[in-house]
Amino acid sequence: MPRQGFVTSITHQSENFPEWYNDVVLKAELADYSPVRGCMIIRPYGYAIWESMQRELDRHIKATGHSNVYFPLFVPKSLLEKEAAHVEGFNPQVAWVTHAGGKALDEWLAIRPTSEAIIADSVKDWIQSYRDLPLLMNIWNNVVRWELRTRLFLRTTEFLWQEAHTFHATEEEAVAEVKTGLDCYEKVAEEWLAIPVVKGRKTESEKFPGAEFTWCIEAMMRDKKALQAGTSHMLGQNFARAAGIEFLDRDNVRKNPYGTSWGFSTRMVGATVMAHGDDSGLVLPPNVAPVQVVIVPIFRKEEEKAAVAAAIDRFQAALAETPEGKAVRVQVDWRDESPGFKYNHWELRGVPFRLEIGPRDVASGQATVVKRVDRSKEPVPLDRLAAELPARLRAYQAELLGRARDFRDANTHRVDTYDELKQGLEGEGGFFLAPWCGDAKCERQVNEETGATIRCIPFDSPAETGKCMVCGSASERRVLFARAY
């Protein structure tokens, strides 16, 4: 069956989704492989997408009172081992520096898998009184986790991310902070990336090593698998106690502060690819798209080129007359290539709108507007388009969020028995809300036998008396099962 559009050089999603994903990431020039196993090179177009996410998340984080800081890349082994549960969880993934300057080191240095340990040790001199709390810090950095199976953006040995670290005088304040982090992630995912998410709590076996509990947001990709899109952790007093952090509280008693941490990484570039893309490549939400509108001039003769260029100049000048229009990211493709080549190039890169302007369009004072998500074409007067374009971009953004939400909802199923879950996973796939008793043995059995995991216990899952689909014991509510990245 012939496909619509111009791009024919990538695998169909229905044929092989992982291969489709790799084709898009490489051919849309988001990233490339590195000489170092499991690492990646982020190319300009991919990095521009990451920068957009980064700026938006940074804006939300700073609005909640956090300050950006930086901590070293290397963590002494003795610090990492202070929190036993933490190091046990991370040890298989830790990369160690054992030699430097031509000789063996007296103490090994971990290349940070995350920063809790070094931060806890560092801030013990900063926190002396309740007046020093809360301490709200955020870091933009890179971390290393020695992954056995890697995939560009989704799981790499080295990746870029944001990690917030906070300390609080009371447990209640720390729990509120966990919610703050998750709310920031939800806003970026839904409002910026047009990816609807399910908010919930991780099970004990899936929580962050050393945490008291972990909250998360989970998203559905176009192949109906889940992707963890952000996590926020309640660390309690574990790391503070291990590091010897104490403060004098209002009641004149020395106490350990309560800590939290939360993280959001470059895997969300991959999530944006997989949540919206189609058989022709990327479909980017306007908010995150490096180029929101591409103009393809069409001409054969120099006099036609001059007339087309003048029309484009007038359009861009009209667009820049309003603050909203001035912010629209427009690129004119004057390359010495055929129009078809340019259509292919920008379709693969997911640019929301393409404007085709040729001699006939100039004569009519219009442009042909092509919408990437459905390839609909519409002739629109240029003066009207200049005024309408910001609103069209907002509508496009909302359309992608609605489309993704409808797709998720249509592929979320309630099942009551283990057989129903197995059949669903082997059939159409998707999210499955099923009763679970809370026993890790049942959770582990499902994973070992089906490859699915409990993605979260959704916050909006109502109390519902039932029987665990695995063992038949009492269940209090449904949890979300899915196969995941």
Q: In whole numbers, what is the pLDDT of the chain averaged over residues?
A: 95
d(CA 96, CA 110) in angstroms, rounded, equals 5
d(CA 7, CA 98) in angstroms, rounded, equals 48
d(CA 191, CA 336) in angstroms, rounded, equals 37
Share of the chain above pLDDT 70, in %: 97
Share of the chain above pLDDT 90, in %: 91
**Which residue in this structure is represented by tokens 């920068």?**
51
Cβ neighbours of 70 (radius 10 Å): 10
Which residue ranges form the domains of the chain, and what is each CATH number?
A: 17-73+89-94+115-276 (3.30.930.10), 293-392 (3.40.50.800), 412-482 (3.30.110.30)
CB environment 358-368: b (16+ within 10 A), e (fewer): bbebbeeebbb
Which strands make up the sheet holding 353-357, listed edge to edge?
A: 330-332, 293-297, 353-357, 366-371, 377-381
Residue 4: what pLDDT? Answer: 53
d(CA 477, CA 460) in angstroms, rounded, equals 10
Cβ neighbours of 148 (radius 10 Å): 9
Q: How confident is the model at residue 374 (pLDDT cuts 50, 70, 90)?
A: very high
pLDDT of residue 49 exceeding 80, the answer is: yes
d(CA 263, CA 145) in angstroms, rounded, equals 14
Residue 29: what pLDDT? Answer: 97
- 351, 356, 363: which is closest to 340 by C-alpha? 356
- Determine if the peptide bond prior to 113 is cis (ω within 30°): no
Cβ neighbours of 149 (radius 10 Å): 7
Residue 173: what pLDDT? Answer: 98
Residue 150: half-sphere exposure toward Cβ, Cα within 13 Å = 20
Residue 238: what pLDDT? Answer: 86
Q: What pLDDT digit, counting tens, does each position of 146-176 carry?
A: 988 899 999 999 999 999 999 999 999 999 9
d(CA 324, CA 388) in angstroms, rounded, equals 10
